C-alpha cells in the first residue's frame, strides 16, 4: 500500500490510472477506522479496480467548542486496517497542504444542510462540503462511498455532486452497528463504560418510532413521542432532536405517506451521538 501525503502526487497517481481505464473507488475518512469504515472499504474494493482511502481530520468541520484536538488519531491502526482490506493508496494530506496560506474558497451548503446537524453545528457542513469537494478534486475518483450513519452528510454530498457536476458516483452504505444496536462511530471511544451501556437508547428510540409506523401510524407527532418516551427512560441522556423527515429534502413531515427517515441526536455525558433509520410505510390492503 502506498502512503501519499502530497495532493499533487495523489492527483498524478489517479490521472495515470484513469488514462489506463482503471476505475478508482474512494472512501474519505477522518481516521479512527472502525467496522463501519471497514465495510465501506470492502464494498469499494469489490466495486472498483483501484482503491483510495483518505485519512484527514478536517479542522474546518469542527466548531470552536468541539473535539478537534482530542479527536482520536490512531494512524498505525488505521493503516493496518487499510492494508488488511487491500487499499492501494492511503491518502494522508496535512492541514497545511489542504488549507495553505491564502486559501479562500468555501462551498456554500444547500438547504438539506440547514436543519438538524446544520443547526446544532453551524459551520460543520460548510467544512464538510468544502473538504469533500477538495478531496474529490485531488483523488479524482469514479465512485465514492459514504455511510448512512451520517445521513444528512450523505444527502448533502449527493446534492453537492449533482449541483457542481463533480462527476463522482456516490454510494451510501447501511450503518454498521454493535451487537446491541449502537451505531459504530469514531466518537464511541469517548463513552465511559456506563455511558456506553446507556447510549444504545438512541437506537431503541428510533426503533420504537419505526415500530409505530409499521403498525400504520402516520401522525409524526405520535411517532416522535414514541421515540421520546423511550429515550426519556434514560434520565441522564438529553435529546437534541428527534425528527420524522422526508429522506430527500430532510424537511420534517407532519404525516407519513411514504418512506421517511427518523433522525436523532442525543448527548450522553459530554458525548454527542447521532443515528437514523429509514422506514418504509406499511403496504395497505386494497
Active site members: 37
- On the 0-12 / 13-18 / 19+ scale of CB atoms within 10 A, 22 is middle
Instruction: Compare residues 54 and 224 and give the one whose CB is closer to ligand PAF.
Output: 54
| Contacts of ligand PAF in 99-128 (CB under 6 A) | 128
Q: Which range binds ligand PAF by CB under 6 A, 16-24, 25-33, 73-81, 97-105?
A: 25-33
Q: Which range binds ligand PAF by CB under 6 A, 26-34, 96-104, 200-208, 215-223?
A: 26-34
Least Å from the CB of residue 57 to ligand PAF = 8
Which residues make beta-bridge pairs with 276? 263
| Residue 31 DSSP class | S
Least Å from the CB of residue 150 to ligand PAF = 5
Residue 27: which of 111, 104, 85 has the closest Cα? 85
Say how far apart CA 202 and CA 220 lie, in whole Å: 18
Binding of residue 30 to ligand PAF (CB under 6 A): yes
Say how far apart CA 18 and CA 73 lie, in whole Å: 31
Binding of residue 130 to ligand PAF (CB under 6 A): no
Binding of residue 24 to ligand PAF (CB under 6 A): no
Among 14, 29, 185, 224, binds ligand PAF (CB under 6 A): 29
Binding of residue 279 to ligand PAF (CB under 6 A): no
Binding of residue 28 to ligand PAF (CB under 6 A): yes
Binding of residue 145 to ligand PAF (CB under 6 A): no
Instruction: Compare residues 58 and 224 and give the one whose CB is closer to ligand PAF.
Output: 58
Q: What is the DSSP string of 178-220?
A: -TTSPBP-GGGGGS-HHHHHHHTHHHHHHHHHHHHHHTT--BH
Among 150, 202, 234, 276, binds ligand PAF (CB under 6 A): 150
Among 14, 39, 58, 130, binds ligand PAF (CB under 6 A): 58
What is the CA angle 237-238-240, rounded to 5? 140
Instruction: Compare residues 14 and 61 and give the one whose CB is closer to ligand PAF.
Output: 61
Residue 33: which of 64, 1, 77 has the closest Cα? 77
Residue 107: which of 142, 131, 141, 76 has the closest Cα? 131
Residue 170: which of 26, 10, 14, 23 has the closest Cα? 26
Instruction: Compare residues 29 and 175 and give the one whose CB is closer to ligand PAF.
Output: 29
Binding of residue 48 to ligand PAF (CB under 6 A): no
Residues that bind ligand PAF (CB under 6 A): 28-30, 58, 61, 128, 131-132, 150, 153
Amino acid at each position: 500500500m502506498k502512503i501519499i501525503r502530497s495532493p499533487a502526487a495523489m492527483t498524478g497517481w489517479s490521472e495515470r490510472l484513469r488514462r489506463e481505464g482503471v476505475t478508482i473507488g474512494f472512501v474519505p475518512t477522518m481516521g479512527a477506522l472502525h467496522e463501519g469504515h471497514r465495510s465501506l472499504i470492502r464494498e469499494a474494493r469489490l466495486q472498483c479496480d483501484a482503491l483510495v482511502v483518505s485519512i484527514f481530520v478536517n479542522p474546518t468541520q469542527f466548531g470552536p467548542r468541539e473535539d478537534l484536538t482530542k479527536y482520536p488519531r490512531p494512524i498505525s491502526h488505521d493503516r493496518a486496517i487499510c492494508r488488511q482490506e487491500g487499499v492501494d493508496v492511503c491518502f494522508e494530506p496535512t492541514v497545511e497542504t489542504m488549507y495553505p496560506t491564502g486559501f479562500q474558497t468555501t462551498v456554500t451548503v444547500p438547504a438539506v444542510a440547514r436543519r438538524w446537524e446544520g443547526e446544532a453545528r453551524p459551520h460543520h457542513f460548510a467544512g464538510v462540503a468544502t473538504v469533500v469537494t477538495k478531496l474529490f478534486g485531488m483523488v479524482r475518483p469514479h465512485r465514492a462511498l459514504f455511510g448512512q450513519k451520517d445521513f444528512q452528510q450523505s444527502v448533502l454530498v449527493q446534492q453537492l455532486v449533482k449541483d457542481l457536476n463533480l462527476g463522482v458516483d456516490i454510494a451510501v452504505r447501511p450503518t454498521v452497528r454493535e451487537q446491541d444496536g449502537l451505531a459504530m462511530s469514531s466518537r464511541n471511544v469517548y463513552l465511559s463504560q456506563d455511558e456506553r451501556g446507556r447510549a444504545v437508547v438512541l437506537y431503541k428510540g428510533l426503533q420504537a418510532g419505526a415500530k409505530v409506523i409499521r403498525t400504520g401510524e402516520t401522525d409524526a407527532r405520535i411517532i416522535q413521542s414514541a421515540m421520546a418516551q423511550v429515550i426519556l427512560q434514560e434520565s441522564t441522556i438529553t435529546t437534541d432532536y428527534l425528527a420524522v423527515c422526508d429522506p430527500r429534502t430532510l424537511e420534517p413531515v407532519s404525516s407519513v405517506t411514504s418512506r421517511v427517515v427518523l433522525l436523532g441526536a442525543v448527548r450522553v455525558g459530554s458525548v454527542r451521538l447521532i443515528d437514523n433509520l429509514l422506514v418504509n410505510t406499511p403496504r395497505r390492503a386494497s
